[in-house]
Chain A
Amino acid sequence: MNTKVKHWLEDETIDIFLGYKIVDGHPLPHCFTKERIEELEDLIVGQARYSLEKIATHITTVNPDIKIGMLARDCNQRALNVLFIWNQLNPENIETININCCPSNLKEHGDCSYLEPETAGVYKKQVGVDNNLQPEDVEKHDQPQRLTRWMYEFQKCIKCYGCRNICPVCFCTECSLEHKELVDPGTLPPEIPIFHLVRAVHMAGRCIDCGLCEDACPVDIPLRLLYRKVNEIVVNVFDYQTGASAQQSPFNILGDTVTLEPKPLESVETQN
């Protein structure tokens, strides 16, 4: 891994490399450059997971032509695909070194902070939310029960915007969550359930199920479960698996062709 990155930096395939390094005992994201190539000896995969692609997006905003290399778990890769689709990053400017990751619907194996307690360190305690809740598990309960539970979860919200801020695929300069017509400002908890539902709707076709939002939520709202449900609908209606490829998304309206084509609905067919 280190040798490959070294070659990349030396032959200028990339200008900077985003990886991890231990700083003061913490595994932190680190920017490796050609000028300080000796630092590459400290390059690690890192047990704590940060959104390197979000850092890459920020760097690209300042310096659009810079070539960035980065370590990529599956979630990073899915996020990159979404960011390519939405023109936030240019695939030609990104090189990745793929590393093992956490389990998801797309891939089962993993070795990161999302795993069971024996492989996770102190940095990932299993408190509150079971991070691997699936929509099917919850749908066993009846609707009023589910509503009560969701309202209970939502009213815990302290409106820190952590779920949005940490999200690798949240890049809008103007956010609906801060729009006073949509979400009434100045109240705590924020207007529920609309605050969380606005975000959930925006996660359709965007959420790559990385679980960083749930990690960052100070009050343990099972956000990953909510967005999983939203994306389940996207799969059922558009047959689109978010982040699986960098091909155009059915939600992408930029470009010459309209791509929002739902699968034929059965009810429409019977009417005809």
Chain B
Amino acid sequence: MQCKIVPSVCSYCGTGCGILFEVIDGKINSTLPLKTHPVNEGKLCIKGWNLHEHVNSFMRLKKPLVKTSGRFITTEWDEAIGLTADRFSEIIQKYGPDSVGVLVSAKLTNEENYLAQKFARAVIGTNNVDHCARL
């Protein structure tokens, strides 16, 4: 019997509410607001309250899927990333780097967002970087 209360940050939006995961025998059983967190002060919205359902959902994709002749086939990360890279190279060669855009998100950390824009500018070679919060 193992029971752990794990503090974390809600991944739904960019607000960054403090949450607690109640983990029983390795499975996230429920989500609680972190009462002493300066951002949410013990309150959560409906999405935060249900984070564990999103983690435990049977519909959650745990492996990458590649669409091959109209059907999604489960594959490994190396293959999926390799395939994406090949297709991107093809597109960039044919239509130029500005045919690609990178859309980042408030759900990512600062560092991940930085990496994403770096990837767009240095690897793809475009300034087409935007953010979902800039609606």
Contact = CB atoms under 8 A, between A and B. Distances in A.
Contacts of B35: 48-50, 113, 123, 215
A30 B43 contact: no
B87 interface: no
Interface in A56-87: 58-59, 62-63, 66
Contacts, number: 84
Given A48-B35, A59-B24, A62-B24, A162 B43 contact: yes
A124 to B, nearest CB: 8
B24 A161 contact: no
A125 to B, nearest CB: 7
Nearest to B49: A165
Contacts of A26: 7, 18, 34, 36-37
Contacts of A217: 43
A218 interface: yes
B7 A23 contact: yes
A59 B43 contact: no
Interface in B8-41: 18, 20, 22, 24-25, 29-30, 32-38, 41
Given A16-B1, A26-B34, A158 B46 contact: yes
Contacts of A15: 1
B4 interface: yes
B83 to A, nearest CB: 39
Nearest to A49: B35
A215 B5 CA distance: 20
Contact of A55 (B22, B34, B43): B22
A85 B1 CA distance: 25
Nearest to A20: B5
A123 B41 contact: yes
B45 A218 contact: yes
Interface residues of A, number: 36
A62 B25 contact: yes
B42 A215 contact: yes
B44 A216 contact: yes
A29 interface: yes
B36 to A, nearest CB: 4
Given A26-B34, A28-B20, A50-B35, A162 B5 contact: no
A59 B3 CA distance: 8
A24 interface: yes
A135 interface: no
Interface string B38-65: 1001111110110000000000000000
Contacts of A29: 5, 20
Nearest to B23: A31
Nearest to B47: A160
B8 to A, nearest CB: 11
A27 B37 CA distance: 10
A251 B50 CA distance: 30
A115 interface: no
B3 A31 contact: yes
A160 B36 contact: no
Given A16-B1, A123-B35, 19 more contacts: A15-B1, A29-B20, A48-B35, A58-B22, A58-B30, A59-B24, A62-B1, A62-B25, A63-B25, A113-B35, A122-B38, A123-B36, A161-B49, A162-B33, A166-B33, A216-B44, A217-B43, A218-B43, A218-B45
17 contacts: A16-B3, A25-B36, A27-B36, A28-B7, A48-B35, A49-B35, A55-B22, A59-B24, A121-B36, A122-B38, A159-B46, A160-B45, A160-B48, A162-B43, A165-B49, A215-B35, A216-B44
